[in-house]
Amino acid sequence: MAEHGARLLVADDNKVNRLLLGRTLELQGHQVASADNGRQALEMLARERFDLLLLDLEMPELDGFALLERLAADPELRDLPVIVTSSVEGVAQVARCIELGADDFLHKPVNPVLLKARIGASLEKKRLRDQLKAMVRRFATPQVAQDLAASGFALGGRKLVASVLFSDIRGFTALAEQQPPEDTIELLNTYYTLMFDAIGGQGGVVNQIIGDGLMAVFGAPLPLADAPLAAVRAALDMQEMVRLFNAERAAAGQAPIAIGVGIGTGEVIAGYTGTRERATYTCVGDTVNLAARLEAHTKAAARGVLIDGATHTALNGRIACDALGALQLKGKAAAVEVFALG
């Protein structure tokens, strides 16, 4: 059960209180560590993982109120359940604790039965929160999870400048038809692991995978310095990984794969779209369409990576590119300056 064997931290400057609370909690089956002031408690919380904090208010160095404020401001610790135990007089201080994010308040001397019930309830709430967070992590990128945690969920978007990358496996449908389905799934899993590494390694965020294709964004939802350069480096890393992957496939007697990558830089509309119940973080706009068109054009151009003029300008000569001139891309009214790498 969740309330058994939890790791608890008791922060209290008074030795009698500390010993008694520690003893009571140990008798209830928990592991207990203690700190005799707020600063020490904060150091221990930064160093070790605790399931719950029992906090006294009156402490030297850093008091309970200040500690609650520090916890609320720390993304790693803001979800730590805190039960305040104090013999403070009056309800104003109790209300302040709850406003500052404490889960609960118990008057000293703490009634052991009440303590047990409150700890059980707080740990159960924490377990549900942890489960929810794990789910968000699985289905969203860490950046989106962090953005959600920091600003909450709201449908709607904002305009920002980002670099968008599209990639897919050339001739994938034909390949999939020639081999057993489990080989195809294994190929995709390995391929995605490699591509996620290449993109994440440069600060990009994969926000969609469809079949053998993926879309990644550099510079959203969190800002990224020099996003166009990061996107181009990711594209080159992706190509390098495919080369290594093909060497492995050749050793196993399998046919090589090839990828095409398109990158566009410019204004996008980024945000959560969908319904209140089912939503996704996405980027839309001309830049996204352009990147998708460039990726589709890699086959005709017989080049691995195509980028638009804005991405090329931002590179400022740091990576060598070949100018392909102004091309008329499908779905684009005006011709677009295209550059090739790889």
Please say whether the beta carbons of 53 and 119 come within 8 A.
Answer: no
Instruction: Provide the b/e sequence for 234-255 (b: ≥16 CB within 10 Å).
Output: bbbbbbebbeebeeebeeeeee
Own/partner contacts of 30-33, CB < 8 Å, gap of 24 or more, are: 30/4, 30/5, 30/6, 30/119, 31/5, 31/6, 31/7, 32/8, 33/7, 33/8, 33/9
- Least CB distance to another protein at residue 10 (A): 14
What does DSSP say about strands 305-308 and 336-341: parallel, antiparallel, or unpaired?
antiparallel
The residue ranges that bind another protein (CB under 8 A) are 13-17, 19-20, 23-24, 27, 58, 86-89, 107-109, 111-112, 114
Report the C-alpha gap between 214 and 211 in whole angstroms. Answer: 8
Cβ proximity to another protein: between 16 and 174 the closer is 16
- Least CB distance to another protein at residue 58 (A): 6
- Least CB distance to another protein at residue 24 (A): 6
Cβ proximity to another protein: between 121 and 279 the closer is 121
Radius of gyration for the alpha carbons in the chain, expressed in angstroms and rounded? 27
Cβ proximity to another protein: between 112 and 200 the closer is 112
Cβ proximity to another protein: between 19 and 323 the closer is 19
Instruction: Give the phi and the psi of residue 187 in degrees, each rounded to 5.
Output: -60, -45
What is the residue type of 290?
L
- Least CB distance to another protein at residue 35 (A): 16
- Least CB distance to another protein at residue 39 (A): 16
- Least CB distance to another protein at residue 114 (A): 6
Please say whether the beta carbons of 291 and 279 come within 8 A.
Answer: no
Instruction: Provide the b/e sequence for 16-52 (b: ≥16 CB within 10 Å).
Output: ebbebbbebbeebebebebbbbbbbbbebbeeeebbb
Strand segments, DSSP code E, in the chain are 7-11, 31-35, 52-55, 82-86, 104-107, 156-169, 205-210, 213-218, 259-274, 279-284, 305-308, 322-327, 336-341
Cβ proximity to another protein: between 22 and 228 the closer is 22
Report the C-alpha gap between 108 and 184 in whole angstroms. Answer: 63
- Least CB distance to another protein at residue 20 (A): 6
Torsion of CA 117, 121, 127, 128, to 10 degrees: 160
Cβ proximity to another protein: between 63 and 197 the closer is 63
- Least CB distance to another protein at residue 90 (A): 10
- Least CB distance to another protein at residue 51 (A): 22
Cβ proximity to another protein: between 15 and 332 the closer is 15
Q: Under the phi-then-psi rule, with left for phi > 0, alpha for psi from -120 to 50, and beta for the rest, what region is 93?
A: alpha
Cβ proximity to another protein: between 54 and 270 the closer is 54
Cβ proximity to another protein: between 16 and 73 the closer is 16
